[in-house]
Structure 1
């Protein structure tokens, strides 16, 4: 949907639902717009957490390097600028690798905040000495597990690994809750797809290496290729989800939010338990050490953990909010259905052994 049409829909939704456009969504003085997707925002309970009105005002100029795309977060960035007359956001949207390389190449980066689409890039910048610790009162907005133990990055949303499946072909109750079983069960031969060139898949394999060891991970990959004849997605997670929803394949190793693009298809979500197939990663941000506006930058990060921003993420990106008190949308499983393994997300930055393994097995 183009931006103009989307804004028109938002205005219409705000005009027809005064309750929705009230302070519960923090629309401030501009009550003609609803923050987030009105199709999924309407009828939801008031979000918990800290509203923006209780946070310090944002002012000044901030430069944001964002690995999250403009279609995903642009509306929220525009909303923040509307709320604070003295705030100017200069946002560079680009691929994660390009932004990280740019920061590393700049003698003194002009960026104040790096907005990451996963923890690996934020950890990489942290380990290179390019980031600063966030204030404790910002870190305390999220529970343990979705923030850096050293305080250098914090998560805004969680995205879980899932087993996507064709509901016309399989019953979720009969699918394995062990990711390794998918490489050995004859039911899935010639019926599984993966996307090994995607960062989320590579993080999943990294987690498998760390949790289960390289030998077991290599055996799983070989069985997937040699025994199950796994197919490679022609276009990442989105194309893989479409193939599953359309019945081209029955099983896909993917992220939960692909359901957003296929809510009325045959795509179902199943879960493994306590293994790499049940891991989650986070989107989030870190303040850059070279930035001139560290206090304002940390306050900007704080605002993305506000009740309004977290409600926006829930209804627009279909990801799981990082703070307590904001529920995922009803179309998604509750977090009680996930049983992720416990490990430090910083370890996902240990990517090179994973890439080497995938190359050795001719997967990349």
Structure 2
């Protein structure tokens, strides 16, 4: 009887041990499969509205398995939304144009530091925030656009020359509320001080062909319409018009030229579109991976070809159209200073009556 009882207990113990071991072996592969299928998400708030961007996000998902959820809106609305949502926000990344706007987000305590060796290697130091709270991903130059019929390139030289009496009633530019103009003036404050920056702004106001109005493309259209001879514009918009589905915009682009000012002095003003890691990001690692992907050579090439923006990655060539305009010397300053000097720039623009 004892032998039978012992044998029964032995068999029961072995069966229980086997059952426990079998359960563990089945559970482990299920966890691994789950990790392979679901790499998580990254939630992006962006003011950029380009098909090329969506294609790059899709390529990122295909390569990493990380889904990109995109919320698009106007930059000021998105900044306000981030402020309102606070710690409850789903946003992991904030992306917009102009270092000034990126600085606003930082100044409102909406971003956090993101340290990445890949971003440091792909993006020059002057094109990213001093505290690594935002990173430039594409570049644009703010240049002088001129009428090919009425202006010779040899007549052009510097931003400062546009205040000369020979350009009286001939200069076209956007309103002072536009952040591109604010950042341009902020760069002059950094390079030359507030007094000279104010003097320049006052001179531009004195030479305006009309009250400031419209966007950059409207300035080019006004040149062709004969309202003025020269305009201050971003290169990006000339590229967009040259490749527009609207034949009238293509005609406008054909009738204007691009001139890079200040090649013998401080260089041409540049700005960026960029992204920053939000303060309350729930998917921090995925967000940094997306920024790294956007700064890599393949993505930079797509930005350059499809959107007519200059790549920030020094290993990537500009598009053929941008190359046709020639190389240029850019201002040498950290773009963080555009945001830091924004309030002073706005003050000067108001003081000189730049509407």
TM-score by length of 1: 0.76
- Closer, same or farther: CA 224–141 of 1 in aligned 2, 3 Å: closer
User: Which residue of structure 1 lines up, in the alignment, with residue 4 of structure 2?
Assistant: none
Among 195, 204, 216, the alignment partner of 2:196 is 216
Distance 1:72 1:249 in 2: 33
Residue 191 of structure 1 pairs with residue 170 of structure 2: yes
Distance 1:60 1:84, change over 3 A: farther
Indicate which of 268, 275, 297 corresponds to 1:307.
Answer: 297
Q: Distance in 2 between matches of 1:134 and 1:85?
A: 20
Paired residue for 2:249? none
1:351 and 2:334 aligned: no
* Structure 2 match to 1:265: 254
Question: Compared with structure 1, are the counterparts of its residues 72 and 201 closer, same or farther at alpha carbon in structure 2 (3 Å cutoff)?
Answer: farther
- Are positions 1:240 and 2:240 aligned together? no
Q: Compared with structure 1, are the counterparts of its residues 68 and 273 closer, same or farther at alpha carbon in structure 2 (3 Å cutoff)?
A: same
Residue deviations 1:279-328, cap 9 Å, x none? 11111111123111111110011111122211111111101011122211
Structure 2 unaligned spans of 5+? 1-36, 243-252
Separation in structure 1 between the aligned mates of residue 332 and residue 64 of structure 2, nearest angstrom: 43
The 2-side partners of 1:59 and 1:152 are apart by 25
Deviation digits for residues 245-300 of structure 1 (CA, Å, limit 9, x no counterpart):
45442100111112213435111111212667711111111112311111111001
**Partner deviation per Cα, 1:145-204 (whole Å, 9 max, x = no partner):** 22223322221111111000011111112312x211110141x22111010232111110
| Residue 106 of structure 1: aligned partner | 85
Do residues 291 (structure 1) and 287 (structure 2) align?
A: no
Q: Matched residues in 2 for 1:184 and 1:146: separation?
A: 32
Is 1:326 the equivalent of 2:316?
A: yes
SS in 1 for 2:321: coil
Point out where structure 1 has 5 or more consecutive residues left out of the alignment.
1-56
State the match for 1:93 in structure 2.
72
| More helix, by proportion | 2
CA distance in 2: counterparts of 1:298 and 1:214, whole angstroms: 37
Paired position in structure 2 for 1:280? 270
Assess, with a 3 A threshold, how the Cα gap between structure 1 residues 217 and 58 changes in structure 2: closer, same or farther: farther
For 1:247 and 1:75, locate their aligned partners in 2 and report how far apart those are by CA, in whole Å: 39
Cα 1:355–1:150 shift into 2, 3 Å: same
TM-score (norm. length: structure 2):
0.78
Secondary structure of the 1:76 match is helix
> Which protein has the larger Cα radius of gyration, Structure 1 or Structure 2?
2
Q: How many residues align?
A: 304
Distance in 1 between residues matched to 2:314 and 2:41, nearest whole Å: 30
